[in-house]
Structure 1
Amino acid sequence: MESLRPNYAPLAEGRREIRLLHVAPKDPSQPDSAIASRFSAASLDDNPDYEALSYAWGDHTKEKTIFIDSTSVGITRNLHDALEDLQLAYQERTLWVDAVCINQADNEERTHQVSQMRHVYESASRVIAYLGKEYEGSDAAMEFLEIVGRDPDIHYSPRLNPHIAVHGMDICSEGLRDAIISFLDLDWWKRVWTVQEFALARNSVLQCGDRQLPGSHLIQIYESYMKHAYDCCGGWDYLNAKSAKYGIDIWSALQRIADLNFACTSEELSFLEVLESFRTRHSFDPRDKMYGMLALATGRWENVIEADYTKSTEDVYRALALAATERTGNLGFLSHCYGRRYPELRLPSWIPDWTAIIDEGSHNNLMSRLSTYNLFDASSGALSTLIYQAPKIALVTGVVFDTIQNTGPERGEMGTTPEIMRTWRAMAQIAESHLDVSTGAFWQTICGGLLYERSNAGPSWRRQVPTRDWPLYHKWKTWKFSEDEPSLDSNVQATSFDIAYHITALDRRFVVSRKGHLGFAPVATAAGDVIAILSGVNVPFILRAVSELPDSGSNICYEVIGDCYIHGVMDGEVFTRYAMPLEEIRLV
């Protein structure tokens, strides 16, 4: 039988109507028969009883069929797997499933239904996060997570009792670690839409095959892991051991739970923080990188933009950049301009490309760096202005105060830490023997003016105090240059410096300016690029002069290369010490 589209009767927008899918019970006499179902329309105002499905669409090829109102309808394999595992034996099951309950071919209906997605998931009696069919290792992973979620005091380390053991394996077992990592690497954890679907649920459950895990366990799992990893069970050898099969460690895998915890528990979320937290997640439609998170835009970010599938991706991304400036009064959104841009999108350099390719392992550290920017005030509280001139110019104010003279190699190309330090010191023209506080500009640049500390209240960042923190650099350098290279655990005081060093230098080059400033700038930075302080931004930016555009008059234009750390100008010195006046800067 030919696969057709369902028969979609119009929905009454004024009544907040949605379609519900009623899945008929299994026919025990015909276990291989096609799934039968029917549609009904229901108003959210009437509090209908239904469960909402959250799943990864996967391959969009509609290779499976079900019956909806006696019509054979093509659906994806992932959806068919979900309906097959959710179908009850003796009674009908009422579900809301976005792929079929929304007429995906009708942009007007799609736009309206997406706009009320928050209410759809908040109103559901339960949200079922379906992760896929049972597979080898899924049972062990779910049992591990179930134990941790049920008993937050149980230890990870097999040296302590009681400790976790699953199927005869403890956390030191590569088999158990791989099972946990593979479970947290399923597509559901990497899809954009599943974030708000899970975060908005008043009651949720994760299901893999026919095994379920209460959604409330996820918060307890992450809190337990943080508690034990930093305290009693701090055996970094197994917590940081990368899986040979999946290329990441448990810490990175559990970060996906941490991100969901952030979305579920934060009272007022910055929409830019939400987008950044889940930036490496995927969506078939690039506009959904934004639309799929709109239900999490609260407080001053509420209704920041509207879902509208008649608009191009470029229009949507530009609308957010302009709205972000209006809502926050600053140009902080510019710090999200990084990653390898998607060439099909014709975006100006000053508009973040939310589809940009970013390594997930690096992304967590990049987010940590972004979180430190509120500790700086390079523009000395200057109010931001942004005037948009179609099609691509943004007029802002600021100061172009210096030019890049030398750039170092990428850190990954430079060998050992001692070799890296020698190269950078040579660029800065600092003799190897100079180890006193007089070389403060160098060692403070190495850690980006920051230190990472752990306390009973949790880990946090702080600005360094040169006269007090100089010994930390010396201890860190002694550790890094040691031939025996003792473990970092035996140099605990150097940890805060080491973390700051890696965060500061990540995806950046060491640079020296014509005026002698030291710093770290994006890998794409080249000699001749300029350093600018833009009004309403906490950190400096690297800009690149480009040929004047036909509609820009005789004014020079700049492309945004990215934000940077430049020692000696992070606290408004360009204005307070050098008294440089603001000028108009054209970004393209």
Structure 2
Amino acid sequence: MHPGFVNDGEDSQGRRNRFERSRQCCSPPGVSPSRSPNGGKPLKKRRRVESPGSRYYDSEDSDENEDEEARGLRKLKESRNLRGWNFYTYCAIEPDEIRLLLLSPGKHGDKIYCSLKTLELERILRKKLRYQALSYCWGDEQPTDVVFLQDMSVSQPAMPTRRDSWSLDTQTSPRPLAVRPNLIAALHRLRSETEDVWLWVDAICINQKDNNEKNNQLPKMPDIYRSSWNVTIWIGDCYPHDDLYCVLDFLPSILNLKLLDRLVEGDDHDEGTLRAWVRFASVLKRPWFSRRWVVQEVAFGNRVSVRCGNKVVSWLDFADAVELFMRKLEQIRRLYDASELSRYDPDALNNIESAGAQTMVSTTNSMLRKTDEGSILDYDWDLESLVMRLTSFGASDPRDTIFAFCALAKDGNQKSEGIESAQSSAGLQFVAQYTKPARDVYMEFVEYCVKTTGSLDIICRHWALSVPDRPLAPSRLPSWIGVVENSSFGPPSSFTGRINGDSLVGQPGARIYNASQQRPPDVSFGLEEQVIPGEQVILGEQVIPGGKRKRVDMTSGNPQLQANIRPPAPNYSQIPRSLNGELHAKGVILQEISCVSSRVVDGTISEDCLRTIGWDGDVKTFESIPDHIWRMLVANRGPDGKNPPMWYKRACVYTLKKTSAEGDLNTSKLIAHRSLPESVLEYLKRVQAVVWSKKFFSCEKTPSKPQVKCCNEHLYGIGSRNIQKGDLVCILFGCSVPVILRRSESTEDGRIQHVSFLGESYVHGKMEGGVKENFERVTQGPIEFCIS
């Protein structure tokens, strides 16, 4: 018997007969079987749900999206000769129930017939069931095929264990259900010719059009994956003529440590081995490795396998191969660059680091602590850390930027195995709510992180997936929500290499600088208001009689100010209200930008950039380089976030002597010249991590009103590509680095500045404070910035 299949007690002939009966039942609407397939016994009646559209993502007030979906279904019916058919509609299930999918036997090219069985979640927790949980990438394509799906009833309370016998009865005639190409390919490969296969597949076992059901089912996914007999990772199809067909066969060569050393050492450029490395690298760029939901699917699985076509390997072996490959990548690149193959495909091994495979392997091993038997002991990361560290993973629904990690976070509320959720230090929890649009989810998440961490650094990070435009639904994000497109390596699956410098604020809980001198954030978030007859104000779904516009005080870290904060709600994201996109934050203005350089393009620091920060081009002696020049180019830190090694100055002198005739420093060209000393290459990579696509700026020492600016000295800095002359260099309380703000309007006394957020900045001499001694210059106290 094939592992993972449920023995239902039938012989092979019985299964074939039942399979043929299932096919015969598959007739157009209006044609019903001559007799009940359940022997005349009454079936458990369930309310059938017409798969209502999502009020946000699938059809958020969008007739256009509904029309597009309807057109796609009509086209699918025509292409599959399904005119006159009604598509499958889901039966509503109870809050404590889930669905399992039975995949009926068939040959590889046959149509897919399957059944859904509803059962209580508690039953799969009590017994070890022989079902597989599928982990795969949905893909961006529209559904191009169908499976024929029907409901199933069980005549006895037996469970699909290896010894239990099932009575499989057709509840209704099979109906087509539209599915996407990658899923139909996986089902064809997972299907047996002789045995039933039990699966859990999110796209089929959850009614994806019912937001209430999604909200209810998502917290059950950890238990579903943990209780499965096996988590099957589907990374895509392949056939014997494909290059990828033999990739998994190459794994033993990577896992043989002695053989691995021989493969990457010396000058032996065996083309067969080099082709194998390129194929393996191409597998790591497959869409599955950039899907956000797969992180929890792998983390919770106790037994996990990887499937490519009809080839299967253990996830543990595959993960070890990925880590070993990444350790040897530079050596493999050198061998490849010296071979003839690189002439035809020079970029075959580029940008592998930006793929999600390495991150997937390292994080799934560190985010949970388990017993030897696989039981979860503890969760190590909070929600903010998960979202910020795993930006290389994408999702079809932007709300899953956050929701996909709620079950893995120690402060999330979706816990299994009797483990209670650890509340944040502020006593709050963030709950997945698919009834809210992505823009609201993002804003509430920022508010949640500021409250729970006492830090405003999140507004400097680029973590949010872009939100598509939807008619009648605001999707423009506030400037204080950073999108992943502007992160160091861009959006998931881009594989374009570095497109921006690294964030200066580092990872959550690992502060690199201290510009605000640990002063807590003094912020509030604006709320929408809608006045209706009777002088009532609607905040979300809550009606407050006689209400007025309110802002939520998010001040943290100061006991005197915290006394005015009302007790938090148990589930933070369920507070019935709607944020309007305004962030009110207090801080101080350092200076206005007076000079801005050109942008650093592809790692080339122009002569204009260097001149802007005070370099006169003199490199005759070691001492001729001003101290602030070499420190600024590395943001006065090493790659580990600690003080830079002093030899960086010597490396800086070495590279500045390599500038072009026009005075430009092309760091990418120098790095490509592999004859440079290793120390210089290390320094240049650090420089790129700081200045890539950034602009340099300076602030002149000019007379200013003491009640407005707290600093009146010449400043040099590095900011985002969007800065311009006249922008404000500021320090916001609770933010560990200075920021650049652009004034849109201000009150007459200048105490409230309406601004937009342009990003973080490095300001030499102000990264560790340097403001306190000048704070008395601001005679009227800090300024309130209204950031939108």
The answer (yes or no) to whether the contact 1:449–1:463 under 8 Å persists in 2 is: yes
AA of the residue aligned to 1:6: Y
Higher mean Cα deviation, 273-282 or 262-271?
273-282
> C-alpha separation between the residues in 2 aligned to 1:492 and 1:288?
41
Secondary structure of residue in 2 paired with 1:80:
helix
1:455 maps to none
Q: 1:505 to 1:187 in 2, by over 3 A?
A: same
The answer (yes or no) to whether the contact 1:280–1:360 under 8 Å persists in 2 is: no
The answer (yes or no) to whether the contact 1:557–1:585 under 8 Å persists in 2 is: yes
2:786 maps to 586
2:535 maps to none
Secondary structure of residue in 2 paired with 1:412:
coil
2:608 maps to 423
1:305 aligns with one of 417, 422, 430: 430
Secondary structure of residue in 1 paired with 2:98:
strand
Q: Counting helix residues as a fraction of each chain, which structure ranks higher? A: 1
The Cα offsets for residues 368-396 of structure 1, whole Å up to 9 and x where unpaired, read as 75537722111111112321112222122
Matches within 5 A, 1:267-286: 267=367, 268-286=380-398
Matches within 5 A, 1:497-512: 497-512=683-698
The answer (yes or no) to whether the contact 1:337–1:562 under 8 Å persists in 2 is: no
Secondary structure of residue in 2 paired with 1:155:
helix
AA of the residue aligned to 2:133: A
Q: 1:526 to 1:156 in 2, by over 3 A?
A: farther
Higher mean Cα deviation, 127-136 or 525-534?
127-136
Matched, 1:408 2:597: yes
> C-alpha separation between the residues in 1 aligned to 2:466 and 2:203?
29
Query: Could you tell me how far 1:250 is from its partner in structure 2?
Result: 5.0
1:470 maps to 649
> C-alpha separation between the residues in 1 aligned to 2:113 and 2:584?
58
Query: Could you tell me how far 1:526 is from its partner in structure 2?
Result: 0.8
The answer (yes or no) to whether the contact 1:451–1:461 under 8 Å persists in 2 is: yes
> C-alpha separation between the residues in 2 aligned to 1:19 and 1:546?
53
1:371 aligns with one of 497, 506, 510: 506
Q: 1:237 to 1:368 in 2, by over 3 A?
A: farther
1:24 aligns with one of 104, 109, 122: 104
Matches within 5 A, 1:76-115: 76-115=180-219
1:33 maps to 110
The answer (yes or no) to whether the contact 1:395–1:585 under 8 Å persists in 2 is: yes
2:482 maps to 352
Secondary structure of residue in 2 paired with 1:573:
coil
The Cα offsets for residues 14-63 of structure 1, whole Å up to 9 and x where unpaired, read as x3x21000111225xxx643222211123332225221111112245333
1:296 maps to 408
> C-alpha separation between the residues in 2 aligned to 1:382 and 1:191?
38
1:11 maps to 93
AA of the residue aligned to 1:565: Y
> C-alpha separation between the residues in 2 aligned to 1:349 and 1:242?
42
> C-alpha separation between the residues in 1 aligned to 2:269 and 2:226?
35
> How large is the RMSD of aligned CA atoms in angstroms?
3.5
- Residues paired across the two proteins, number: 561
Matched, 1:143 2:249: yes
The Cα offsets for residues 337-382 of structure 1, whole Å up to 9 and x where unpaired, read as 4899657322221133457764654569755755377221111111
> C-alpha separation between the residues in 2 aligned to 1:256 and 1:445?
31
Secondary structure of residue in 1 paired with 2:118:
strand
Secondary structure of residue in 1 paired with 2:436:
coil
Q: TM-score, normalised by structure 1?
A: 0.85
The Cα offsets for residues 279-324 of structure 1, whole Å up to 9 and x where unpaired, read as 3543322222222232222246778422222111111111100011
Same amino acid, percent of matched pairs? 20
> C-alpha separation between the residues in 1 aligned to 2:523 and 2:301?
38
Q: 1:200 to 1:58 in 2, by over 3 A?
A: same
> C-alpha separation between the residues in 2 aligned to 1:84 and 1:164?
39
Higher mean Cα deviation, 216-225 or 477-486?
477-486
Q: 1:238 to 1:531 in 2, by over 3 A?
A: farther
Q: 1:115 to 1:247 in 2, by over 3 A?
A: farther
Secondary structure of residue in 2 paired with 1:78:
helix
2:32 maps to none
The answer (yes or no) to whether the contact 2:752–2:783 under 8 Å persists in 1 is: no
The Cα offsets for residues 466-518 of structure 1, whole Å up to 9 and x where unpaired, read as 5x642232234345679996944541222332121101102211111224322
Matches within 5 A, 1:215-234: 215-229=315-329, 233=331
Secondary structure of residue in 1 paired with 2:730:
strand
Matches within 5 A, 1:371-410: 371=506, 374-390=511-527, 391-410=580-599
1:336 aligns with one of 461, 465, 475: 461
Matched, 1:44 2:121: yes
Structure with larger Rg? 2
The answer (yes or no) to whether the contact 1:102–1:109 under 8 Å persists in 2 is: yes
Secondary structure of residue in 1 paired with 2:685:
helix
Secondary structure of residue in 1 paired with 2:601:
helix
Q: 1:480 to 1:292 in 2, by over 3 A?
A: same
The Cα offsets for residues 529-555 of structure 1, whole Å up to 9 and x where unpaired, read as 111111222211111111359xx9983
AA of the residue aligned to 1:384: P
Query: Could you tell me how far 1:153 is from its partner in structure 2?
Result: 4.5
> C-alpha separation between the residues in 1 aligned to 2:504 and 2:643?
13
Higher mean Cα deviation, 204-213 or 184-193?
184-193
Higher mean Cα deviation, 382-391 or 316-325?
382-391
Query: Could you tell me how far 1:563 is from its partner in structure 2?
Result: 0.8
Secondary structure of residue in 2 paired with 1:169:
helix
The Cα offsets for residues 215-262 of structure 1, whole Å up to 9 and x where unpaired, read as 1124312432344357xx476464899897695635525742211023
> C-alpha separation between the residues in 1 aligned to 2:723 and 2:634?
19
The answer (yes or no) to whether the contact 2:753–2:784 under 8 Å persists in 1 is: no
The answer (yes or no) to whether the contact 2:295–2:364 under 8 Å persists in 1 is: no
Q: Which runs of 5+ in 1 are unaligned?
A: 453-459
Secondary structure of residue in 2 paired with 1:395:
strand
> C-alpha separation between the residues in 2 aligned to 1:162 and 1:433?
42
Query: Could you tell me how far 1:558 is from its partner in structure 2?
Result: 1.3
Q: 1:444 to 1:59 in 2, by over 3 A?
A: closer
Higher mean Cα deviation, 275-284 or 309-318?
275-284
2:630 aligns with one of 426, 430, 443: 443
Higher mean Cα deviation, 385-394 or 290-299?
290-299
Higher mean Cα deviation, 70-79 or 353-362?
353-362
Query: Could you tell me how far 1:273 is from its partner in structure 2?
Result: 3.8
1:456 maps to none
